[in-house]
Amino acid sequence: MNKKIQKALAVAAAATLTLGVVSVSQAQAAVKSVSIAYQGPLSGGEAQTGIDEQNAVKFAIKQYMATNPAVKVTLVSVDDQGDPSVAGTVAPGTAANKNIIAVVGPAYSGATIASLPYYKAGRLPLISPSATRVSLTNPKDKASFGGPVFHRIPSTDAKQGPALAKYAVQGVSNPKVFVIDDQSSYSTGLRDYVLKQVAKSTLVGKDSIPNDATDFSATLSKIKSTDANVVIYTGYFSQASKLIKQLRGAGYDGVFAGGDGVLNQEFADLAGKDAEGARLTGGTIPLADADPALEAKFKASMGVASGVYAVESYDAANIILSGIAAGKTTRSGMLNWIKGYNGTGVAGNSISFDRNGDTAGAGFINGFTIKDGKVVSKGQIK
């Protein structure tokens, strides 16, 4: 803003006060637009997760803008590739952009941990649709606790891990379970909760492989030597698709199960016939199941069907947008709005956040399977 404009505003403000007219502050009057960021993997092997989630955020903003609001909202895309090392390079710029008053994301737990120091320092509020590592909302874990800025919609891995272990062995007589993680923050956290649920008598082996590995021959040999008939993988879909193809190619015909990191249509597309029958879990519900009419509007507006964690991304965006509509156009105002929010999500679930950022209405974990090349919801795991 140049000096002439600043002077004009000052004169106008003084005149208004002299006339005794109640007015908003110059700072409030100057607010014409704000930005929401979406942070997640928008390129690289995990890009489909970010594309799916960001599409839901875009849809929510489209609906908001169609109401002709006084405050316009723009979306800033923050691509962290789902990689903590990348997240640590993009988060500083996001935190420094003062027009960004809230973030939907980060999508992944590891990327969230890497971003938190910058967002905490900038008091930038976050609502993640899919970061499930328990420590993010555990104040005893100083290294990864997200308070006071971090909030999330879904259930944590403390619920997903036991549900995944239970779902993986359903209907399997004499289960012999082999557990694999990819060494990421999300994967090792989920693995630990899976292992707590798996009976010692059924656990026959486990392995930990780097998340960029492409040759799983050593792991396949371990699985074969244990005669495992259930393999649980706690990493992400891009590596899972390679792993299951090599498993099937080596003659393994048992159950393959994975958590919400694998839960993506892209897993089925990449693995092809080898993904058929895979069992997956997630603290999410498809938008088409939660609200078929809204799914139809989504398709008409976005030109594609909604993806995984669309419901949670849409809910997160709408919490922020409702705050903007209520006049919360600063980071501090938005943070207070989120902390005091009490509403209902698309799926009819209650959404309010506890003091550490978890959602009061969370708690369910749904099961999914790959059938005829598509991700199919099987409902809540009891």
Interatomic CA distance for residues 23 and 300, integer angstroms? 42
Domain identity same for 249 and 292: no
Q: What is the CATH number of the domain that holds 73?
A: 3.40.50.2300
Q: Do residues 136 and 42 share a domain?
A: yes
Domain span holding position 150? 33-155+288-352
CA distances (Å), origin 302, targets 62, 103, 284, 297: 10, 21, 20, 8
Does 373 map to a domain?
Answer: no
Specify whether 278 is located in the same domain as 210: yes
Please give the C-alpha separations between residue 218 and each of 19, 206, 207, 223, 275, in angstroms, as whole numbers: 81, 12, 10, 9, 21
Q: Mapping DSSP to helix (H, G, I), strand (E, B) and coil, where does residue 185 land?
A: helix
**Is residue 270, in this structure, part of any structural domain at all?**
yes
d(CA 243, CA 381): 25
Q: Within this chain, do residues 82 and 94 fall inside the same structural domain, yes or no?
A: yes
| Amino acid of residue 57 | V
Evaluate whether 31 touches 37 at the Cβ level (below 8 Å). no
Show the CA angle centred on residue 280, arms to residues 274 and 281, nearest 5°. Answer: 170
**Domain membership flag for residue 89:** yes
Q: Give the three-state DSSP class for 179.
A: strand
As beta bridge partners, residue 375 has 370
Instruction: Quote the DSSP letter at residue 272.
Output: G
Count of domains forming the chain: 3
Of 282, 298, 333, which residue sits at a domain end?
282
Work out the end-to-end distance of the chain between its first and last CA atoms, rounded to an integer number of angstroms: 59
Residue 359, domain member (yes or no): no
Tens digit of pLDDT at every position of the chain (382 positions):
443 333 333 433 333 333 333 334 444 445 589 999 999 999 999 999 999 999 999 999 999 999 999 999 999 999 999 999 999 999 999 999 999 999 999 999 999 999 999 999 999 999 999 999 999 999 999 999 999 999 999 999 999 999 999 999 999 999 999 999 999 999 999 999 999 999 889 999 999 999 999 999 999 999 999 999 999 999 999 999 999 999 999 999 999 999 999 999 999 999 999 999 999 999 999 999 999 999 999 999 999 999 999 999 999 999 999 999 999 999 999 999 999 999 999 999 899 999 999 998 677 899 999 999 999 999 999 8
Residues 41 and 124 reside in one and the same domain:
yes
Same domain for 66 and 103: yes
